[in-house]
Amino acid sequence: MKSPWVKKLFLLLILVLLVIFPAASPSPYLVHIMTLIFIWAYISTAWAYMGRFGLVSLGHGAFLGIGAYVTALLFNYFNLSPWIGMLIGASSAAFLAAVLGYACFRFGVIGDYFALVTLAVGELVALSIIALRDTTGGSLGFTIRNLGNAPLYFQFSNKVYFYYLSFLFLVFALYLWVRIDKSKMQKALRAIGEDEIAASSVGINIIKYKMTITIISAFLTGIGGVLYAQYITYLNPHTLSGVEVSLAIPFKAILGGMFDMWGPTIGTAMIVSLEEYIRVSYGTKFIGISEVAYGIALIVLIIFLPKGLYGTLKEMKIFKNERRRQYGCNKRKEVILRGR
């Protein structure tokens, strides 16, 4: 491992670069891409809060959609500022997570079965949004009322504000990751992820800890939905909810490596850049191909690189330095794949 101060210096350098980036950037387009990376990195980090403990949700689109739609509808219909609305939106997402989580955890739905239940919930939310087309605009989506420059209403004429805002949110999500890592909740969840019966036999309240992390993850994801919707100023059930997004979020986290705090961010940076590159170079020729690619890549990753690209690289390094840790570490994939 690098010595701590080298690491800190390196982080500080990146931080400074990212802060001055918009001023130094040659084009607003790059700032836009970076903003997208921040938003999705924030969301997939929030997803990995659960994912890394074996709570693989394939329905985070539900939380994303609820957060975004509740907030935007409150603004469009009742003129409620999204700054306040986002708390209501994210709380609604957290409430759904609490109901879903309690139902699953009470009856011991874990592993693959949990993933399936969440997958259904994500789709259910997307379908509900479409069904309520009189208010939500259905499949056509709807546009957030434009107020021009209205910081009090989460609208900025200059997109740079969104850059800094989403950057802050990402930093917060990473900070929370560290806080969770230092808490006793992390120890409890790790034990639960390995073996629930063993965890409860040492006195861990399984339902409590799983509920807590699920609610935190859903709340943050709900806020992520608001961030995205406010930035794009257009809401669509397919881009915010449903299977497509619900799979895209874990994919980013798993690609980078969900067991490491930087994994989801690195995975997101890779995916968003690649998507943009394909979109710009090949236009609409390959529309829809990304979902096929997601599916295939996800299968390959889970089988061969369960720790993701960054996680695997990092581990190889640890291996070199610390021979002792070689005992079966690579078999981490069982945490994701283990059912009952």
Partner 1 sequence: MLRVEKINVSYGEFQVLHEVSIEVKSGETAIVVGPNGAGKTTLLRVISGLLKPTSGAIYFDGHRIDDKEPHEIVELGIALVPEGGRLFPYLTVYDNLKIGSFAKRARGGFRRTLEEIFELFPILKERRNQLAGSLSGGERQMLAIARSLMSQPKLIMLDEPSLGLAPRVVSRVFEFIGKIRSQGYSILMVEQNARKALELADHAYLLESGKLEFHGGREDFLRNPYIKKAYLGI
Question: For binding to partner 1 (CB under 8 A), which residues are involved?
Answer: 184, 187-188, 190-191, 194-195, 197-206, 324-325, 327-329, 331-332, 335
CB of 334 to partner 1, least distance (A): 9
The first and second tokens of residue 252, run together, are: 């980013």
Burial label for 40, CB within 10 Å (0-12, 13-18, 19+), is buried
CA dist 307 and 258 (Å) reads 7
The minimum distance between CB 112 and partner 1, in angstroms, equals: 19
Q: Minimum distance between the CB of residue 195 and partner 1, rounded to whole angstroms?
A: 5
Structure tokens that stand for 238 in this block: 């397919």
Within 8 A by CB and 6+ apart from 6, the residues are none
Q: Which is nearer to partner 1, 206 or 216 (CB)?
A: 206
Of residues 106 and 159, the one with the C-beta less far from partner 1: 106
CA 215 to chain CA mean position, Å: 13
Tokens 């209205």 -> residue: 150
Spatial contact of 106 and 207, defined as CB atoms under 8 Å apart: yes
Residue nearer to partner 1 on the CB measure, 252 or 307: 307
Q: Name every residue whose Cβ is closer than 8 Å to that of residue 108 and which is 6 or more positions away in sequence.
A: 196, 340
102, containing H or E segment: helix 82-106
- The minimum distance between CB 207 and partner 1, in angstroms, equals 8
CB-nearer residue toward partner 1: 67 or 263: 263
Least Cβ distance, residue 324 to partner 1 (angstroms): 7
Output 165 or 191, the one with its CB closest to partner 1: 191
150 forms beta bridges with: 155
* Minimum CB distance to partner 1, residue 275 (Å): 34
User: Quick one: 158 exposed, middle or buried, by C-beta within 10 A (0-12, 13-18, 19+)?
Assistant: exposed
Tell the burial category of 155 from Cβ atoms under 10 Å away from its Cβ (0-12, 13-18, 19+).
Answer: buried
Residue (207 or 293) nearer to partner 1, CB: 207
Q: Widest CA span of the chain, in angstroms?
A: 62
* Closest distance to partner 1 from the beta carbon of 39 (Å): 33
Identity of the residue, 198 or 289, whose beta carbon is nearer to partner 1 in the bound complex: 198
Of residues 78 and 327, the one with the C-beta less far from partner 1: 327
Alpha-carbon distance 304 to 290, whole Å?
A: 20
For residues 159 and 51, what is the distance between their CA atoms, to the nearest angstrom? Answer: 32
Least gap, CB of 197 to partner 1 (angstroms)? 6
